[in-house]
Structure 1
Amino acid sequence: MPRIPALNPKDAGPIIKIGYRMARKQVGEVPEPFAVLAHHRKLFVASARHELALQKAMHAMPQGLFELAVYRTAWTVGCSWCVDFGAMLQRLEGLDVDRLKAIAEFETSPQFSDAEREVIRYADAMTQTPMTVTDEQVAALVQTYGHEGVLELTYQISHENQRARMNHALGITDQGFSSGDQCRVPWSVDPVSESATTAP
Protein backbone atom coordinates (compact mmCIF):
# COMPACT_ATOMS: atom_id res chain seq x y z
CA MET A 1 0.00 0.00 0.00
CA PRO A 2 1.29 3.49 -0.80
CA ARG A 3 2.03 5.90 2.04
CA ILE A 4 -0.81 8.10 0.78
CA PRO A 5 -3.78 5.96 -0.30
CA ALA A 6 -5.32 6.17 -3.75
CA LEU A 7 -8.37 8.41 -3.95
CA ASN A 8 -11.49 6.29 -4.18
CA PRO A 9 -13.70 7.20 -7.16
CA LYS A 10 -16.67 7.62 -4.83
CA ASP A 11 -14.80 10.46 -3.13
CA ALA A 12 -13.59 12.07 -6.37
CA GLY A 13 -15.01 15.01 -8.26
CA PRO A 14 -16.11 14.87 -11.91
CA ILE A 15 -12.70 15.84 -13.35
CA ILE A 16 -10.93 13.07 -11.43
CA LYS A 17 -13.56 10.52 -12.44
CA ILE A 18 -13.17 11.47 -16.10
CA GLY A 19 -9.38 11.15 -15.71
CA TYR A 20 -9.78 7.70 -14.19
CA ARG A 21 -11.99 6.55 -17.07
CA MET A 22 -9.58 7.91 -19.69
CA ALA A 23 -6.59 6.28 -17.99
CA ARG A 24 -8.36 2.92 -17.74
CA LYS A 25 -9.30 3.11 -21.40
CA GLN A 26 -5.75 3.97 -22.45
CA VAL A 27 -3.71 1.51 -20.37
CA GLY A 28 -6.23 -1.00 -19.05
CA GLU A 29 -6.37 0.17 -15.43
CA VAL A 30 -6.03 3.34 -13.38
CA PRO A 31 -2.30 3.88 -12.69
CA GLU A 32 -1.79 4.09 -8.94
CA PRO A 33 0.45 7.21 -9.05
CA PHE A 34 -2.40 8.91 -10.89
CA ALA A 35 -4.90 7.85 -8.22
CA VAL A 36 -2.65 9.01 -5.37
CA LEU A 37 -2.05 12.39 -7.01
CA ALA A 38 -5.83 12.76 -7.38
CA HIS A 39 -5.97 14.00 -3.77
CA HIS A 40 -4.63 17.29 -5.20
CA ARG A 41 -6.92 18.14 -8.11
CA LYS A 42 -4.79 20.95 -9.56
CA LEU A 43 -1.61 18.86 -9.52
CA PHE A 44 -3.56 15.94 -10.99
CA VAL A 45 -4.74 18.08 -13.93
CA ALA A 46 -1.33 19.71 -14.40
CA SER A 47 0.41 16.33 -14.43
CA ALA A 48 -2.06 14.82 -16.90
CA ARG A 49 -1.72 17.78 -19.26
CA HIS A 50 2.06 17.67 -19.02
CA GLU A 51 2.24 13.95 -19.81
CA LEU A 52 -0.02 14.37 -22.86
CA ALA A 53 1.95 17.38 -24.10
CA LEU A 54 5.24 15.54 -23.61
CA GLN A 55 4.02 12.61 -25.73
CA LYS A 56 3.11 14.98 -28.55
CA ALA A 57 6.39 16.92 -28.34
CA MET A 58 8.69 13.93 -28.88
CA HIS A 59 9.80 13.57 -32.50
CA ALA A 60 13.57 13.93 -32.84
CA MET A 61 14.82 11.03 -30.69
CA PRO A 62 14.12 7.38 -31.56
CA GLN A 63 11.46 6.23 -29.11
CA GLY A 64 13.14 2.94 -28.34
CA LEU A 65 16.28 4.75 -27.19
CA PHE A 66 14.63 7.25 -24.88
CA GLU A 67 12.32 4.55 -23.48
CA LEU A 68 15.43 2.51 -22.63
CA ALA A 69 17.05 5.53 -20.96
CA VAL A 70 13.86 6.17 -18.97
CA TYR A 71 13.70 2.50 -17.95
CA ARG A 72 17.32 2.57 -16.77
CA THR A 73 16.60 5.72 -14.77
CA ALA A 74 13.63 4.10 -13.03
CA TRP A 75 15.70 0.97 -12.38
CA THR A 76 18.52 3.05 -10.88
CA VAL A 77 16.22 5.09 -8.63
CA GLY A 78 14.47 1.89 -7.55
CA CYS A 79 10.91 2.70 -8.59
CA SER A 80 9.29 -0.68 -9.23
CA TRP A 81 6.12 0.98 -10.55
CA CYS A 82 8.07 2.88 -13.24
CA VAL A 83 10.11 -0.21 -14.13
CA ASP A 84 6.89 -2.19 -14.54
CA PHE A 85 5.14 0.50 -16.59
CA GLY A 86 8.25 1.19 -18.67
CA ALA A 87 8.55 -2.47 -19.62
CA MET A 88 4.92 -2.39 -20.78
CA LEU A 89 5.57 0.65 -22.97
CA GLN A 90 8.52 -1.09 -24.61
CA ARG A 91 6.46 -4.26 -25.13
CA LEU A 92 3.70 -2.25 -26.79
CA GLU A 93 6.31 -0.69 -29.09
CA GLY A 94 7.30 -4.17 -30.20
CA LEU A 95 10.70 -3.96 -28.51
CA ASP A 96 12.54 -6.88 -26.93
CA VAL A 97 11.66 -6.67 -23.24
CA ASP A 98 13.50 -9.88 -22.28
CA ARG A 99 16.80 -8.04 -22.63
CA LEU A 100 15.77 -5.69 -19.84
CA LYS A 101 16.70 -8.51 -17.44
CA ALA A 102 20.31 -7.80 -18.44
CA ILE A 103 20.11 -4.03 -17.83
CA ALA A 104 22.63 -4.28 -14.97
CA GLU A 105 25.19 -5.74 -17.38
CA PHE A 106 24.44 -3.41 -20.29
CA GLU A 107 28.14 -2.63 -20.82
CA THR A 108 29.02 -6.23 -21.62
CA SER A 109 25.72 -7.78 -22.68
CA PRO A 110 25.46 -8.46 -26.43
CA GLN A 111 21.75 -7.60 -26.17
CA PHE A 112 22.53 -3.88 -26.21
CA SER A 113 23.90 -1.86 -29.11
CA ASP A 114 26.58 0.84 -28.86
CA ALA A 115 23.89 3.50 -29.35
CA GLU A 116 21.87 2.04 -26.49
CA ARG A 117 24.91 1.89 -24.22
CA GLU A 118 25.59 5.54 -24.95
CA VAL A 119 22.12 6.71 -23.87
CA ILE A 120 22.17 4.43 -20.81
CA ARG A 121 25.49 5.97 -19.74
CA TYR A 122 23.94 9.41 -20.16
CA ALA A 123 20.92 8.38 -18.06
CA ASP A 124 23.29 7.10 -15.37
CA ALA A 125 25.36 10.29 -15.40
CA MET A 126 22.22 12.42 -15.06
CA THR A 127 20.71 10.26 -12.29
CA GLN A 128 23.79 10.17 -10.08
CA THR A 129 24.05 12.69 -7.23
CA PRO A 130 25.96 14.81 -7.95
CA MET A 131 25.54 14.44 -11.71
CA THR A 132 28.57 13.35 -13.72
CA VAL A 133 27.56 14.49 -17.23
CA THR A 134 30.54 15.71 -19.28
CA ASP A 135 30.94 18.12 -22.19
CA GLU A 136 32.24 15.25 -24.32
CA GLN A 137 29.22 13.10 -23.53
CA VAL A 138 26.74 15.76 -24.62
CA ALA A 139 28.79 16.69 -27.69
CA ALA A 140 28.84 13.06 -28.87
CA LEU A 141 25.07 12.78 -28.44
CA VAL A 142 24.50 16.07 -30.28
CA GLN A 143 26.60 14.83 -33.18
CA THR A 144 24.30 11.82 -33.54
CA TYR A 145 20.87 13.18 -32.58
CA GLY A 146 21.17 16.96 -32.96
CA HIS A 147 20.19 19.58 -30.44
CA GLU A 148 16.50 18.65 -30.44
CA GLY A 149 17.22 14.97 -29.91
CA VAL A 150 19.54 15.60 -26.97
CA LEU A 151 17.07 18.04 -25.42
CA GLU A 152 14.32 15.43 -25.71
CA LEU A 153 16.52 12.73 -24.19
CA THR A 154 17.64 15.02 -21.36
CA TYR A 155 14.09 16.12 -20.64
CA GLN A 156 12.80 12.54 -20.58
CA ILE A 157 15.55 11.39 -18.19
CA SER A 158 15.06 14.35 -15.85
CA HIS A 159 11.29 13.89 -15.89
CA GLU A 160 11.65 10.19 -15.11
CA ASN A 161 13.86 11.10 -12.16
CA GLN A 162 10.99 13.25 -10.88
CA ARG A 163 8.35 10.55 -11.44
CA ALA A 164 10.44 7.70 -10.06
CA ARG A 165 11.57 9.59 -6.97
CA MET A 166 8.04 10.74 -6.20
CA ASN A 167 6.58 7.23 -6.59
CA HIS A 168 9.40 5.68 -4.58
CA ALA A 169 9.02 8.25 -1.79
CA LEU A 170 5.28 7.59 -1.60
CA GLY A 171 5.71 3.81 -1.50
CA ILE A 172 3.96 3.15 -4.83
CA THR A 173 4.98 -0.25 -6.20
CA ASP A 174 4.51 -2.20 -9.44
CA GLN A 175 0.98 -2.84 -10.67
CA GLY A 176 1.42 -5.66 -13.18
CA PHE A 177 1.43 -3.61 -16.39
CA SER A 178 4.48 -5.36 -17.86
CA SER A 179 2.80 -8.77 -17.71
CA GLY A 180 -0.45 -7.49 -19.19
CA ASP A 181 -2.24 -8.46 -15.96
CA GLN A 182 -2.85 -5.03 -14.49
CA CYS A 183 -3.91 -4.99 -10.85
CA ARG A 184 -6.78 -2.80 -9.81
CA VAL A 185 -5.78 0.06 -7.54
CA PRO A 186 -6.52 -0.88 -3.92
CA TRP A 187 -8.85 1.98 -3.09
CA SER A 188 -8.88 3.44 0.39
CA VAL A 189 -10.51 1.31 3.07
CA ASP A 190 -13.82 2.66 4.30
CA PRO A 191 -13.25 3.34 8.03
CA VAL A 192 -16.92 2.57 8.78
CA SER A 193 -17.33 -0.76 7.02
CA GLU A 194 -13.60 -1.60 6.86
CA SER A 195 -14.16 -3.12 3.44
CA ALA A 196 -12.33 -2.02 0.29
CA THR A 197 -14.41 -0.53 -2.47
CA THR A 198 -13.81 -0.96 -6.16
CA ALA A 199 -13.75 1.43 -9.07
CA PRO A 200 -16.94 1.98 -11.08
Structure 2
Amino acid sequence: MSRIPAVAPQDAGLLVRIAYRLARRRVGEVPEPFAVAANHRKLFFAGTMHELAVERAVHVMPKALLQLAVYRTAWTVGCSWCVDFGVMLQRLDGLDVERLRHIADFEASDAYSDEERDAIRYADAMTATPMTVTDEEVATLVDRYGHEGVVELTYQIGLENQRARFNHALGITDQGFGSGDTCLVPWDVSEPATARA
Protein backbone atom coordinates (compact mmCIF):
# COMPACT_ATOMS: atom_id res chain seq x y z
CA MET A 1 0.00 0.00 0.00
CA SER A 2 1.36 3.39 -0.97
CA ARG A 3 2.18 6.02 1.64
CA ILE A 4 -0.43 8.33 0.10
CA PRO A 5 -3.70 6.63 -0.89
CA ALA A 6 -4.75 6.26 -4.50
CA VAL A 7 -7.77 8.36 -5.44
CA ALA A 8 -10.69 6.00 -6.03
CA PRO A 9 -12.89 6.71 -9.08
CA GLN A 10 -15.90 7.58 -6.89
CA ASP A 11 -13.77 10.25 -5.18
CA ALA A 12 -12.32 11.66 -8.41
CA GLY A 13 -13.66 14.40 -10.63
CA LEU A 14 -15.07 13.70 -14.08
CA LEU A 15 -11.83 14.39 -15.98
CA VAL A 16 -9.80 12.13 -13.68
CA ARG A 17 -12.39 9.34 -14.08
CA ILE A 18 -12.14 9.71 -17.86
CA ALA A 19 -8.34 9.54 -17.62
CA TYR A 20 -8.68 6.38 -15.50
CA ARG A 21 -10.88 4.77 -18.16
CA LEU A 22 -8.40 5.66 -20.88
CA ALA A 23 -5.51 4.28 -18.83
CA ARG A 24 -7.40 1.05 -18.15
CA ARG A 25 -8.16 0.68 -21.85
CA ARG A 26 -4.54 1.32 -22.76
CA VAL A 27 -2.68 -0.87 -20.24
CA GLY A 28 -5.39 -3.06 -18.73
CA GLU A 29 -5.58 -1.32 -15.36
CA VAL A 30 -5.20 2.09 -13.77
CA PRO A 31 -1.51 2.45 -12.87
CA GLU A 32 -1.18 3.15 -9.16
CA PRO A 33 1.28 6.08 -9.60
CA PHE A 34 -1.36 7.66 -11.82
CA ALA A 35 -4.03 7.20 -9.13
CA VAL A 36 -1.75 8.51 -6.36
CA ALA A 37 -0.82 11.57 -8.44
CA ALA A 38 -4.56 12.29 -8.78
CA ASN A 39 -4.38 13.67 -5.23
CA HIS A 40 -2.98 16.81 -6.90
CA ARG A 41 -5.24 17.40 -9.88
CA LYS A 42 -3.06 20.00 -11.64
CA LEU A 43 0.11 17.90 -11.37
CA PHE A 44 -1.88 14.81 -12.40
CA PHE A 45 -2.84 16.46 -15.69
CA ALA A 46 0.57 18.10 -16.18
CA GLY A 47 2.27 14.72 -15.73
CA THR A 48 -0.19 12.95 -18.00
CA MET A 49 0.23 15.49 -20.79
CA HIS A 50 4.01 15.41 -20.37
CA GLU A 51 4.15 11.60 -20.63
CA LEU A 52 1.98 11.62 -23.78
CA ALA A 53 4.08 14.39 -25.35
CA VAL A 54 7.35 12.56 -24.61
CA GLU A 55 5.95 9.33 -26.04
CA ARG A 56 5.07 11.10 -29.29
CA ALA A 57 8.37 13.00 -29.49
CA VAL A 58 10.73 10.01 -29.20
CA HIS A 59 11.66 8.71 -32.66
CA VAL A 60 15.45 8.55 -33.11
CA MET A 61 16.75 5.93 -30.69
CA PRO A 62 15.78 2.26 -31.08
CA LYS A 63 12.83 1.69 -28.77
CA ALA A 64 14.34 -1.49 -27.33
CA LEU A 65 17.49 0.38 -26.33
CA LEU A 66 15.52 3.17 -24.65
CA GLN A 67 13.39 0.66 -22.77
CA LEU A 68 16.48 -1.19 -21.58
CA ALA A 69 18.09 2.03 -20.30
CA VAL A 70 14.86 3.04 -18.57
CA TYR A 71 14.53 -0.44 -17.04
CA ARG A 72 18.11 -0.32 -15.73
CA THR A 73 17.43 3.10 -14.20
CA ALA A 74 14.32 1.82 -12.40
CA TRP A 75 16.23 -1.28 -11.26
CA THR A 76 19.09 0.87 -9.93
CA VAL A 77 16.80 3.27 -8.05
CA GLY A 78 14.88 0.30 -6.66
CA CYS A 79 11.41 1.14 -7.92
CA SER A 80 9.60 -2.21 -8.07
CA TRP A 81 6.60 -0.58 -9.77
CA CYS A 82 8.73 0.80 -12.61
CA VAL A 83 10.59 -2.51 -13.01
CA ASP A 84 7.25 -4.35 -13.15
CA PHE A 85 5.78 -1.93 -15.71
CA GLY A 86 9.01 -1.95 -17.74
CA VAL A 87 8.86 -5.74 -18.06
CA MET A 88 5.30 -5.45 -19.37
CA LEU A 89 6.26 -2.81 -21.94
CA GLN A 90 9.17 -4.91 -23.20
CA ARG A 91 7.02 -8.05 -23.31
CA LEU A 92 4.29 -6.23 -25.28
CA ASP A 93 6.92 -5.03 -27.76
CA GLY A 94 8.01 -8.64 -28.30
CA LEU A 95 11.39 -8.17 -26.62
CA ASP A 96 13.25 -10.85 -24.70
CA VAL A 97 12.33 -10.18 -21.08
CA GLU A 98 14.19 -13.27 -19.83
CA ARG A 99 17.48 -11.48 -20.37
CA LEU A 100 16.45 -8.89 -17.77
CA ARG A 101 17.29 -11.54 -15.16
CA HIS A 102 20.94 -10.89 -16.08
CA ILE A 103 20.82 -7.09 -15.81
CA ALA A 104 23.04 -7.10 -12.70
CA ASP A 105 25.77 -8.86 -14.69
CA PHE A 106 25.24 -7.04 -18.01
CA GLU A 107 28.98 -6.53 -18.58
CA ALA A 108 29.67 -10.28 -18.72
CA SER A 109 26.32 -11.55 -20.00
CA ASP A 110 25.95 -12.71 -23.61
CA ALA A 111 22.38 -11.37 -23.46
CA TYR A 112 23.54 -7.80 -24.19
CA SER A 113 25.18 -6.20 -27.20
CA ASP A 114 27.96 -3.59 -27.03
CA GLU A 115 25.42 -0.87 -27.88
CA GLU A 116 23.17 -2.01 -25.03
CA ARG A 117 26.10 -2.12 -22.61
CA ASP A 118 26.97 1.49 -23.53
CA ALA A 119 23.36 2.58 -22.89
CA ILE A 120 23.29 0.73 -19.56
CA ARG A 121 26.59 2.28 -18.49
CA TYR A 122 25.23 5.70 -19.40
CA ALA A 123 22.04 5.05 -17.42
CA ASP A 124 24.18 4.00 -14.45
CA ALA A 125 26.38 7.09 -14.73
CA MET A 126 23.34 9.39 -14.90
CA THR A 127 21.61 7.66 -12.00
CA ALA A 128 24.64 7.68 -9.70
CA THR A 129 24.80 10.33 -6.99
CA PRO A 130 26.75 12.39 -7.82
CA MET A 131 26.51 11.69 -11.54
CA THR A 132 29.58 10.14 -13.13
CA VAL A 133 28.90 10.80 -16.83
CA THR A 134 32.10 11.35 -18.82
CA ASP A 135 32.84 13.21 -22.03
CA GLU A 136 33.95 9.90 -23.56
CA GLU A 137 30.61 8.19 -22.79
CA VAL A 138 28.66 10.99 -24.42
CA ALA A 139 31.02 11.12 -27.42
CA THR A 140 30.62 7.37 -28.00
CA LEU A 141 26.84 7.69 -27.95
CA VAL A 142 26.91 10.79 -30.20
CA ASP A 143 29.03 8.89 -32.75
CA ARG A 144 26.44 6.13 -32.79
CA TYR A 145 23.12 8.03 -32.48
CA GLY A 146 23.86 11.70 -33.15
CA HIS A 147 22.96 14.66 -30.95
CA GLU A 148 19.22 14.11 -31.24
CA GLY A 149 19.52 10.46 -30.24
CA VAL A 150 21.66 11.26 -27.20
CA VAL A 151 19.22 13.96 -26.11
CA GLU A 152 16.41 11.37 -26.34
CA LEU A 153 18.35 8.81 -24.34
CA THR A 154 19.37 11.37 -21.72
CA TYR A 155 15.83 12.71 -21.43
CA GLN A 156 14.33 9.23 -21.01
CA ILE A 157 16.87 8.24 -18.33
CA GLY A 158 16.30 11.54 -16.50
CA LEU A 159 12.53 11.10 -16.72
CA GLU A 160 12.77 7.56 -15.38
CA ASN A 161 14.85 8.81 -12.47
CA GLN A 162 11.99 11.21 -11.66
CA ARG A 163 9.31 8.51 -12.01
CA ALA A 164 11.22 5.88 -10.05
CA ARG A 165 12.14 8.26 -7.23
CA PHE A 166 8.54 9.55 -6.98
CA ASN A 167 7.12 6.02 -6.82
CA HIS A 168 9.78 4.69 -4.47
CA ALA A 169 9.45 7.67 -2.08
CA LEU A 170 5.67 7.24 -1.90
CA GLY A 171 5.89 3.46 -1.35
CA ILE A 172 4.26 2.53 -4.64
CA THR A 173 5.22 -1.08 -5.38
CA ASP A 174 4.75 -3.51 -8.24
CA GLN A 175 1.21 -4.00 -9.43
CA GLY A 176 1.47 -7.23 -11.44
CA PHE A 177 1.91 -5.73 -14.91
CA GLY A 178 5.17 -7.56 -15.61
CA SER A 179 3.92 -10.98 -14.57
CA GLY A 180 0.87 -10.79 -16.78
CA ASP A 181 -1.25 -11.59 -13.72
CA THR A 182 -4.29 -9.55 -12.83
CA CYS A 183 -3.15 -6.23 -11.44
CA LEU A 184 -5.33 -4.20 -9.15
CA VAL A 185 -5.16 -0.76 -7.65
CA PRO A 186 -5.86 -0.59 -3.90
CA TRP A 187 -9.46 0.55 -4.17
CA ASP A 188 -10.48 -2.42 -6.31
CA VAL A 189 -9.11 -5.64 -4.82
CA SER A 190 -12.40 -7.56 -4.80
CA GLU A 191 -13.15 -7.61 -8.52
CA PRO A 192 -10.97 -9.21 -11.23
CA ALA A 193 -9.74 -6.83 -13.94
CA THR A 194 -11.48 -8.87 -16.66
CA ALA A 195 -14.85 -8.25 -15.02
CA ARG A 196 -14.30 -4.48 -15.12
CA ALA A 197 -13.12 -4.21 -18.73
TM range (shorter): over 0.9
* Count of residues in correspondence between the two structures: 193
What TM-score do you get using the length of structure 1 for normalisation?
Answer: 0.94
- Give the secondary structure class of the aligned counterpart of 1:104: helix
Shift of 1:182: 3.4
The equivalent residue for 1:142 is 142
Cα distance in 1 between the residues matched to 2:149 and 2:103: 23
What is the Cα deviation at residue 44 of structure 1?
0.6
Q: CA deviation at 1:187?
A: 1.7
**Hey, what's the Cα distance between the residues in 2 that align with 1:126 and 1:66?**
14
Q: For residue 108 of structure 2, what is the aligned residue in structure 1?
A: 108
Matched residues in 2 for 1:184 and 1:161: separation? Answer: 24
Q: 1:125-176 CA distances to partner (integer Å, 9 max, x unpaired)?
A: 0000000000111011000000000000000000000000000000000001
Q: Which residue of 2 aligns with 1:132?
A: 132
Quote the offset at 1:179 in angstroms.
1.6
Aligned partner of 2:62 in structure 1 is: 62
Whole-Å separation in 1 of the counterparts to 2:21 and 2:56: 21
Question: What SS does structure 2 have at the residue aligned with 1:161?
Answer: helix
Q: 1 or 2, which has the higher helix percentage?
A: 2
Give the match for residue 78 of structure 1. Answer: 78
- Supply the distance in 2 between the matched residues of 1:55 and 1:81 (Cα, whole angstroms): 19
Deviations 1:97-149 (A, max 9, x none): 00000000000000111110000000000000000000111011000000000
Match of 1:32 in 2: 32
Corresponding residue of 1:180: 180
The whole-number CA distance in structure 2 between the counterparts of 1:163 and 1:5 is 17
Runs of 4+ residues over 4 Å off in structure 1: 196-200
Unaligned segments of structure 1, at least 5 residues: 189-195
User: 1:67-98 CA deviation, whole Å, 9 max, x = no partner?
Assistant: 00000000000000000000111111110000
Question: 1:197 deviation in Å?
Answer: 7.8
Q: Identity rate of aligned residues, in percent?
A: 70
Backbone CA RMSD of aligned residues: 1.4
Distance 1:21 1:181 in 2: 20
Q: Normalization by structure 2: what TM-score?
A: 0.95
